[in-house]
A and B are shown apart, each in its own frame.
Chain A
Amino acid sequence: DGGITQSPKYLFRKEGQNVTLSCEQNLNHDAMYWYRQDPGQGLRLIYYSQIVNDFQKGDIAEGYSVSREKKESFPLTVTSAQKNPTAFYLCASRREGRRTGELFFGEGSRLTVL
């Protein structure tokens, strides 16, 4: 079955540490996205990538970094520069060019900074 896999599902980090969240998709989708969700708020876009080896900042990119070396993979690094990293992180993908533009989500990674 095709889908998006995020890991780890839960992660605890000490302040000052970088952490990398994995996102892999086998849907053959061109575009991949990282969102952050805080309680009672909508999803906010961190970074997105429409093709391999290219990515763009979203609305809240500060303190985060990404890479897109393969079509299937779009890892997100939460750096120590991110001031409030505790959140629910969602990776999504979409086959660009489709009229509907539906997003498919992974199950999410819940990061807690101790």
Chain B
Amino acid sequence: RKEVEQDPGPFNVPEGATVAFNCTYSNSASQSFFWYRQDCRKEPKLLMSVYSSGNEDGRFTAQLNRASQYISLLIRDSKLSDSATYLCVVNFLLNTGGFKTIFGAGTRLFVKA
């Protein structure tokens, strides 16, 4: 089983739609969680951190369920510019005090006019 699993998609949605991505992780010692966005042939960029209480940034809402080891990202009112690959990222603390970061394979989103 992969340490971080995501539905690869692709998700094809019309403009204005609401779309949700899910991610599960296997290491219960995981400490911090993120969603990154990666455009085609570009580097990943941080979209948002994910907190236990859930957090929102404009049209984007992230949720974390530690008991189920599950993270989600909800995008409301999708725009054409939201088309990208969304990476679920999990950090867990090493004995050395640093972090090990595990990336999901990403979920591709296509938003169409």
Q: Which A positions have Cβ atoms within 8 angstroms of B?
A: 31, 33, 35, 40-43, 45, 50, 88, 90, 94, 96-97, 99-103, 105-108, 110
Contacts and interface: CB of A to CB of B under 8 A. Distances in A.
Interface residues of B, number: 24
Contact of A96 (B32, B44, B98): B98
Nearest to A106: B43
Contact of B99 (A35, A43, A96, A107): A96
A75 B32 CA distance: 28
Interface of B: 4, 8, 31-32, 34, 41-46, 49, 87, 89, 91, 96-99, 101, 103-106
B97 to A, nearest CB: 7
Given A41-B105, A42-B106, A102 B49 contact: yes
A91 B103 CA distance: 14
A99 B49 CA distance: 11
Contacts of A35: 103
A53 B87 CA distance: 31
